C-alpha cells in the first residue's frame, strides 16, 4: 500500500533524505501561502451571514489544506538516496542445501520451493543489474557455477549458519558486494549464531536479506526436542530424565524408554494446546556398573511423515567401585548412629566416620587400613582428596587448624568434592564456622546470632525445588511423593542458618511458629557443591515409622549418592559429538601427584559397527592434567572409548566412557526458524521476506549502501497520494456545501 501511494518501497524512505527539488525559493512559497490564506479568509467573510462559525471554519480548513497541498507539489518534493550502481556490484545468493531442505512441505520439498525462486525469470532482474554469485551451504559455504540441479551438492548432514555466512563474506573481500540473499529454513545445528559471530557478520556492513522457506507450524508432527539427564550415575540409584516435546496442537503423547533393545519404562504425557512445548520427567533405575545406552521414543501421530525426530539417545556412564564419604562428628548422638545404619549396605557408598570421643581421641570406622585418619582429620590434600564428599557434624571450628579449614575450602573449590554441614549444639553458627574461610563455601552466611540450636519437634515441608529433586523422591508419582513428605514424622530439632546466598536452593523447610525456615539448602561453589542440613534429628523418622517403612534409609541413601554423584574421579573421561566429530577429554584430578607427572594419555575408540580408532591425546595448553583428541566417525553407532595413562611403558590408570554418534540432527527443529532469520536481517540492515515477495526484495536491494553507489533523486510530486488527497479535500468541501445549501 505504501509503495502504491508514494511510488517507492518502504526501504527507499528509510534510507533517503527528503528535499524540495524546485529551484524556486522557500520565501516565495511562504508569500504565496499567506496570499492564499488571505483569499480564503476573504471568501469566508463574504459568506458570514449564510453559514455558522463552525461551518465557516470547516470550509476554511479544507480550502487551506488543498492550497497548501498544491503549493507543496509545485515545489517538487523528492527523496535523495544512494543506490547501488548497476553493473559495478555483486550480490551473493546463498542456498541452504542441508538435509532439512529435503523436508516435504505441502506438495513439494523445501528445496523445490527454493529452486523456483532461483529460476531464470526471477534471477534475470538481478543478473541485469549486478553480478550474481551463487553459493550453497550446510556446514560450510561453497561457490557454485550456477543453481542448476546438477551443480548442487549432496544434502549436508548439519547446518552451521554463522560460519557459512562468514566464509561467504570473507571470500568476497575483493568484490564490491552490495548484498547477500540467504534462502533457508533457518535450521542451525550449531546452537544458533553466537553473539560474537553476529557481531563479526554485522561488521562487514553488508545487508543480508533472508527468505524463509518452510512452515512455521506443523500440527501433524511431534518432536522429541531434548532429553536432559546426567552423563554419569551411580549403580543402584534412580535417574530422572527431563524430556521436552515440541508440538503444535494438544493431545496425548506416549514416551517409551529402552536400554539398547531392552524396554525399561513408558509414560503418557498430556500436551498443553496453549504451549509450543511440554516438559515431562521420567525416572530410570540404574541397575549395575557399565553404560546405559538409553533411547527415548515418542509414538508417532497418525499421518506423521518425519518420525526420525521422535527418538533421542543418551549414554550414561555407571562407574565401578564405591564413592567415599568422610563423616566427622564431634559427639556421639542418635543422628550419627542412624545415618551409619542407613548407609552400611549401600553398594555405591563407603562411609568412613571419625567420631570425637575425648578431647584427644577419635573413634574410626569404615577405614581401609589402620593408618587411615590415625592422627584425626587430614592435614594434607592427598589424604582428604581421596574422599568424594565430606560431612561435618556438631564440631566447633576451633577443632580445626587454619590450614585444615583452608583444606576444607579447597576440597570443594579445587577438588570438586561436596561439603555438607549438619546442625548440632556445636555446629554451624554456634560452632563459629561463620568466622572461618569455610563460610564462603556454604549456601548461608552463618552467625552465632542466627544459629541457635533448638530441641523442639517441628514438621518438615517439601519446597517446589525439592519436589523436582531426584534425591527427595519417595515415589515416582509427584502427588504421592508430596503426600509421603507431608505425613513424615517431625524432626527432633532445628537450627538457624542466617541469610541465604544468591545461588542457594532451598529443598526442605521446617515450620516454626507458623513460619517456614530453611532446613536443607545447597549451592554450587567452585568445582564442587555444598549443603547445610539444619537438623540433627531425622532419626525420629526411623523411630516413629513402621518397621517396613524405609523413608529414613531412602532419604539418607539418596542424599549420600547426590553428595558424591558429581565428584571427579582420579582419572575422568568424557566425550561429546560436535560438528560431526567425536571429541574426547581426559582429566587427571591431581596432575601434580608423583604418579601423574610426565604421563602420556592415549585412547582407543571402538564402534558397534567394527570401526577401531587409536588416538594420541594432546595436552591442553594452560590446563594441567587435561588432554583432548577428536576424530570423525565413519558410520553411526555406539562408540566405546578407553583412555589409558602411561609413564613410559608403565600403565598408570585407565578409564572408559561411551557416546552415540548419529547424523540425524537435520531431522530435528524442522519448523522454519523465522526468529533467527529476522534477527540476522535486522542486525545487518537487511530484511526478512516471504518467498512471494521476491520481486519486492529485488527492488529493496538497490538501496544498499555496502557497494559502489550513486546519488539519485526520486520525485514524489506525481505520487498518487497527492492526487487522491486533492480529490478527497475538494469532494469533501463540495459535499458539505451541498448539505449546507451554499453552492
pLDDT at 666 over 80: yes
What is the pLDDT, as a whole number, of residue 543? 92
- The widest CA-to-CA distance across the chain, in whole angstroms, is 122
Do 405 and 551 lie in a common domain?
yes
Do 367 and 450 lie in a common domain?
yes
C-alpha cell at 601: 594419555
End-to-end CA distance of the chain: 35
C-alpha cell at 68: 497548501
Among 569, 586, 598, smallest CA distance to 626 is for: 586
pLDDT at 9 over 80: no
Identify the domain boundary among 565, 585, 617. 565
**Which pLDDT band holds residue 310 (cuts at 50, 70, 90)?**
very high
The three-point CA angle 42-44-46 to 5° equals 75
Residues 6 or more apart in contact with residue 558 via CB below 8 angstroms: 237, 238, 470, 471, 472, 473
Answer yes or no: are the C-beta atoms of 224 and 245 closer than 8 Å. yes
3-state secondary structure at position 84? strand
Q: What is the arithmetic mean of pLDDT over 232-238? A: 82
Answer yes or no: are the C-beta atoms of 574 and 628 closer than 8 Å. no
φ and ψ of 405, to 5 deg: -65, -45
Q: What is the arithmetic mean of pLDDT over 138-162? A: 89
Do 77 and 95 lie in a common domain?
no
Q: Which domain holds residue 283?
A: 223-319
Residue with the bigger pLDDT between 238 and 540: it is 540
Answer yes or no: are the C-beta atoms of 349 and 564 closer than 8 Å. yes
Do 210 and 246 lie in a common domain?
no
pLDDT at 519 over 90: yes
**Element housing 349 (H / E):** strand 349-358
Residue with the bigger pLDDT between 281 and 21: it is 281
Identify the domain boundary among 565, 590, 615. 565
pLDDT at 525 over 90: yes
What is the pLDDT, as a whole number, of residue 709? 63
Answer yes or no: are the C-beta atoms of 672 and 211 closer than 8 Å. no
pLDDT at 193 over 70: yes
pLDDT mean across residues, the chain: 88
Answer yes or no: are the C-beta atoms of 58 and 52 closer than 8 Å. no
Q: What is the arithmetic mean of pLDDT over 15-19? A: 73
Least confidently predicted of 40-54, 408-422, 439-453, 640-654 = 40-54
Cut 0.75: pTM above it: no
pLDDT at 492 over 80: yes
Answer yes or no: are the C-beta atoms of 322 and 351 closer than 8 Å. no
pLDDT digits (tens, 9 = 90+) for 411-467: 999 899 999 999 999 999 999 999 999 999 999 999 888 778 999 999 999 999 999
Least confidently predicted of 42-56, 402-416, 555-569, 658-672 = 42-56
SS3 letters across 561-608: HHHHHCCCCCEEEEEEEECCEEEEEEEECCCCCHHHCCCEEEEEEEEC
C-alpha cell at 160: 552451521
Find residue 618's DSSP bridge partners: 628
What is the pLDDT, as a whole number, of residue 245? 94
What is the pLDDT, as a whole number, of residue 556? 94
Do 626 and 724 lie in a common domain?
no
Do 492 and 522 lie in a common domain?
yes
What is the pLDDT, as a whole number, of residue 182? 95
CA distance 341 to 350: 12
Q: What is the arithmetic mean of pLDDT over 187-197? A: 79
Q: What is the arithmetic mean of pLDDT over 378-388? A: 92
87 phi-psi bin (left φ>0, alpha ψ -120 to 50, beta other) = left
pLDDT digits (tens, 9 = 90+) for 287-309: 888 889 999 999 999 888 888 99
What is the pLDDT, as a whole number, of residue 663? 84
Among 110, 157, 102, 168, smallest CA distance to 135 is for: 168
What is the pLDDT, as a whole number, of residue 173? 67
3-state secondary structure at position 718? coil
pLDDT at 470 over 70: yes
Answer yes or no: are the C-beta atoms of 379 and 404 closer than 8 Å. yes
Least confidently predicted of 167-181, 632-646, 686-700 = 167-181
**Which pLDDT band holds residue 711 (cuts at 50, 70, 90)?**
low
The three-point CA angle 359-360-366 to 5° equals 105
Least confidently predicted of 16-25, 141-150, 639-648 = 16-25
Residues 6 or more apart in contact with residue 597 via CB below 8 angstroms: 591
Do 25 and 53 lie in a common domain?
yes
Among 647, 645, 641, 655, smallest CA distance to 572 is for: 655
Answer yes or no: are the C-beta atoms of 494 and 510 closer than 8 Å. yes
pLDDT digits (tens, 9 = 90+) for 562-616: 999 888 888 889 898 887 889 999 998 888 778 788 889 999 999 988 889 999 9
Answer yes or no: are the C-beta atoms of 506 and 521 closer than 8 Å. yes
Length of the chain equals: 743
pLDDT at 70 over 70: yes
Query: Number of structural domains, the chain?
Result: 5
Residue with the bigger pLDDT between 12 and 429: it is 429
**Element housing 465 (H / E):** helix 464-467
Q: What is the arithmetic mean of pLDDT over 257-263? A: 93
Among all chains, which residue has been given the C-alpha cell 539448602? 521
Do 602 and 638 lie in a common domain?
yes
Do 349 and 442 lie in a common domain?
yes
Do 244 and 197 lie in a common domain?
no
Q: What is the arithmetic mean of pLDDT over 699-716? A: 76
CATH code of 461's domain: 3.40.50.880
Identify the domain boundary among 319, 334, 361. 319
What is the pLDDT, as a whole number, of residue 42? 86
Identity of the highest mean pLDDT range in 195-199, 254-258, 357-361: 254-258
Pairing of strands 688-689, 141-143: unpaired
Do 699 and 624 lie in a common domain?
no
Do 513 and 396 lie in a common domain?
yes
Find residue 647's DSSP bridge partners: 650
Amino acid at each position: 500500500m505504501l509503495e502504491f501511494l508514494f511510488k517507492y518501497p518502504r526501504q527507499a524512505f528509510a534510507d533517503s533524505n527528503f528535499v524540495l527539488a524546485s529551484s524556486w525559493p522557500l520565501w516565495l512559497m511562504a508569500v504565496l501561502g499567506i496570499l492564499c490564506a488571505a483569499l480564503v479568509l476573504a471568501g469566508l467573510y463574504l459568506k458570514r451571514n449564510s453559514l455558522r462559525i463552525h461551518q465557516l471554519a470547516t470550509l476554511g480548513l479544507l480550502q487551506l489544506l488543498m492550497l497548501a497541498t498544491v503549493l507543496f507539489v509545485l515545489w517538487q518534493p523528492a527523496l535523495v538516496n544512494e543506490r547501488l550502481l548497476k553493473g559495478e556490484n555483486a550480490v551473493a545468493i546463498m542456498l541452504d542445501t542441508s538435509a532439512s531442505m529435503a523436508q516435504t512441505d505441502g506438495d513439494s520439498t523445501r528445496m523445490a520451493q527454493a529452486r523456483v525462486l532461483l529460476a531464470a525469470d526471477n534471477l534475470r532482474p538481478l543478473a541485469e543489474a549486478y553480478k550474481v554469485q551463487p553459493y550453497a551451504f550446510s556446514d560450510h559455504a561453497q561457490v557454485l557455477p550456477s543453481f542448476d540441479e546438477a551443480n548442487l551438492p549432496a544434502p549436508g548432514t548439519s547446518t552451521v549458519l554463522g560460519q557459512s555466512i562468514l566464509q561467504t563474506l570473507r571470500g568476497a573481500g575483493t568484490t564490491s558486494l552490495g548484498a547477500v540473499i540467504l534462502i533457508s529454513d533457518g535450521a542451525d545445528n550449531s546452537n544458533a549464531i553466537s553473539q560474537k559471530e553476529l557481531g563479526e557478520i554485522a561488521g562487514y556492513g553488508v545487508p543480508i536479506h533472508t527468505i524463509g522457506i518452510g512452515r512455521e507450524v506443523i500440527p501433524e508432527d511431534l518432536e522429541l526436542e531434548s532429553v536432559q539427564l546426567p552423563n554419569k550415575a551411580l549403580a543402584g540409584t534412580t535417574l530422572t530424565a527431563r524430556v521436552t516435546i515440541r508440538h503444535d496442537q494438544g493431545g496425548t503423547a506416549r514416551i517409551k524408554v529402552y536400554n539398547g533393545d531392552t524396554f525399561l519404562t513408558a509414560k503418557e504425557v498430556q500436551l498443553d494446546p496453549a504451549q509450543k512445548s511440554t516438559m515431562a520427567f521420567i525416572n530410570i533405575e540404574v541397575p549395575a556398573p557399565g553404560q546405559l545406552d538409553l533411547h527415548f521414543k515418542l509414538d508417532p501421530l497418525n499421518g506423521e511423515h518425519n518420525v526420525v525426530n521422535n527418538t533421542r539417545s543418551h549414554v550414561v556412564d555407571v562407574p565401578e567401585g564405591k564413592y567415599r564419604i568422610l563423616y566427622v562428628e564431634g559427639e556421639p548422638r542418635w543422628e550419627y548412629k542412624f545415618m551409619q545404619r542407613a548407609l552400611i549396605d549401600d553398594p555405591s557408598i563407603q562411609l568412613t566416620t571419625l567420631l570425637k570421643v575425648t578431647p584427644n581421641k577419635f573413634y574410626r570406622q569404615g577405614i581401609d587400613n589402620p593408618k587411615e585418619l590415625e592422627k584425626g582429620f587430614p592435614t594434607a590434600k592427598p589424604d582428604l582428596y581421596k574422599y568424594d564428599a565430606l560431612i561435618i557434624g556438631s564440631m566447633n571450628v576451633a577443632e580445626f587448624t587454619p590450614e585444615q579449614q583452608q583444606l576444607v575450602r579447597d576440597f570443594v573449590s579445587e577438588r570438586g568434592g561436596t561439603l555438607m554441614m549438619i546442625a548440632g549444639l556445636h555446629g554451624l553458627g554456634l560452632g563459629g564456622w561463620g568466622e572461618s574461610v569455610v563460610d564462603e563455601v556454604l549456601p548461608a552466611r552463618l552467625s552465632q546470632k542466627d544459629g541457635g540450636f533448638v530441641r523442639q519437634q517441628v514438621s518438615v515441608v517439601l519446597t517446589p525445588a525439592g519436589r523436582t529433586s531426584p534425591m527427595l523422591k519417595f515415589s515416582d508419582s509427584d502427588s504421592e511423593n508430596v503426600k509421603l513428605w507431608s505425613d513424615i514424622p517431625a524432626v527432633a530439632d532445628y537450627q538457624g542458618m542466617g541469610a541465604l546466598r544468591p545461588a542457594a536452593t532451598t529443598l526442605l523447610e521446617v515450620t516454626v511458629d507458623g513460619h517456614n525456615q530453611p532446613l536443607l539448602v545447597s549451592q554450587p561453589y567452585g568445582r564442587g557443591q555444598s549443603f547445610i542440613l539444619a537438623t540433627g534429628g531425622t532419626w525420629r523418622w526411623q523411630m516413629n515409622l513402621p518397621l517396613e517403612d524405609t523413608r529414613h534409609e531412602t532419604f539418607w541413601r539418596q542424599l549420600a549418592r547426590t553428595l558424591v554423584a558429581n565428584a571427579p574421579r582420579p582419572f575422568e573421561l568424557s566425550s561429546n559429538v560436535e560438528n560431526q566429530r567425536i571429541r574426547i577429554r581426559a582429566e587427571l584430578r591431581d596432575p601434580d601427584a608423583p604418579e601423574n607427572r610426565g604421563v602420556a594419555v592415549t585412547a582407543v575408540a571402538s564402534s558397534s559397527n567394527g570401526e577401531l580408532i587409536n588416538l594420541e591425546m594432546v595436552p591442553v595448553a594452560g590446563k594441567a592434567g587435561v588432554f583432548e583428541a577428536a576424530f570423525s566417525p565413519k558410520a553411526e553407532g555406539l562408540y566405546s572409548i578407553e583412555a589409558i595413562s602411561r609413564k613410559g611403558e608403565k600403565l598408570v590408570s585407565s578409564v572408559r566412557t561411551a557416546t552415540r554418534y548419529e547424523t540425524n540432527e537435520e531431522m530435528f527443529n524442522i519448523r522454519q526458524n523465522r526468529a533467527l532469520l529476522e534477527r540476522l536481517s535486522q542486525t545487518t540492515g537487511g530484511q526478512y521476506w516471504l518467498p512471494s515477495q521476491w520481486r519486492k526484495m529485488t527492488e529493496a536491494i538497490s538501496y544498499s549502501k555496502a557497494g559502489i553507489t550513486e546519488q539519485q533523486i526520486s520525485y514524489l510530486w506525481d505520487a498518487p497520494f497527492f492526487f487522491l488527497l486533492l480529490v478527497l479535500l475538494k469532494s469533501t468541501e463540495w459535499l458539505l456545501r451541498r448539505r449546507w445549501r451554499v453552492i
